[in-house]
Amino acid sequence: MNKPEQYVLDAYERIKKYPSPKMTDNLHKFICDCVGLLPASYGPLIQNKVINDLKAIGVKSDEERGDFRKNKTYFEFKSSFLSKGITYSITNIRKWHNFDFYVLCFIDVENNFTPNFYVIKKTDIDSFAQRGMNGTVESNMTNTNVGMRVTFNIKSNEFERFKSMNLLKDNTFNSLFEFVDSFKMKKDKPESFKFKFLSQKFDSDNTTENYINFLKFFMLINRNREYFGLDIIKASLGSFCTFKRTDLSSCSKKKKQFVRLNDLIYVSTYTSTERKKRHIKKILEYYNSGAKYSADIELL
For residue 228, what are the domain limits?
195-299
Is 71 in the same domain as 151? yes
Residue finishing a domain among 153, 181, 209? 181
Strands 68-70, 114-121: pairing is unpaired
- In our burial notation (b when 16+ CB lie closer than 10 A, e otherwise), range 223-261 reads eeeeebbbebbbebbeebbbeeeeebeeebbeeebbbeb
Domain tally, the chain:
2
For residue 37, what pLDDT is reported?
83
Of the pLDDT bands very low, low, confident and very high (cuts 50, 70, 90), residue 139 is: very low
- The C-alpha angle with vertex 151 and arms to 147 and 152, in degrees rounded to 5, equals 150
pLDDT digits (tens, 9 = 90+) for 158-214: 999 999 999 999 999 999 999 999 998 766 667 788 999 888 999 999 999 999 999
- To which H or E segment does residue 85 belong? none
Mean pLDDT of the chain: 87
pLDDT digits (tens, 9 = 90+) for 36-88: 888 888 899 999 999 999 999 999 999 999 999 999 999 999 999 999 999 99
Please report whether residue 187 resides in a domain.
no
Does 141 have pLDDT greater than 70?
Answer: no
Rounded to an integer, what distance in angstroms lies between the CA atom of residue 243 and that of residue 199? 29
Sheet harboring 114-121: ordered strands across?
57-58, 68-70, 73-81, 101-108, 114-121
Is 207 in the same domain as 294? yes
Is 210 in the same domain as 177? no
Q: CATH number for the domain including 137? A: 3.40.210
Rg, Å, the chain Cα set: 31
Long-range CB pairs of 25-28 (<8 Å, 24+ gap) are 27/53, 27/115, 27/173, 28/113, 28/114, 28/115
How long is the chain? 300
For residue 298, what pLDDT is reported?
85
Is 98 in the same domain as 35? yes
Is 219 in the same domain as 97? no
For residue 185, what pLDDT is reported?
76
Closest CA to 283 of 181, 187, 211, 201: 211
Please report whether residue 89 resides in a domain.
yes
Is 280 in the same domain as 143? no
Does 246 have pLDDT greater than 70?
Answer: yes
Is 167 in the same domain as 199? no
Is 58 in the same domain as 155? yes
Please report whether residue 226 resides in a domain.
yes
Is 29 in the same domain as 170? yes
Please report whether residue 223 resides in a domain.
yes
Is 23 in the same domain as 168? yes
Residue finishing a domain among 181, 208, 229? 181
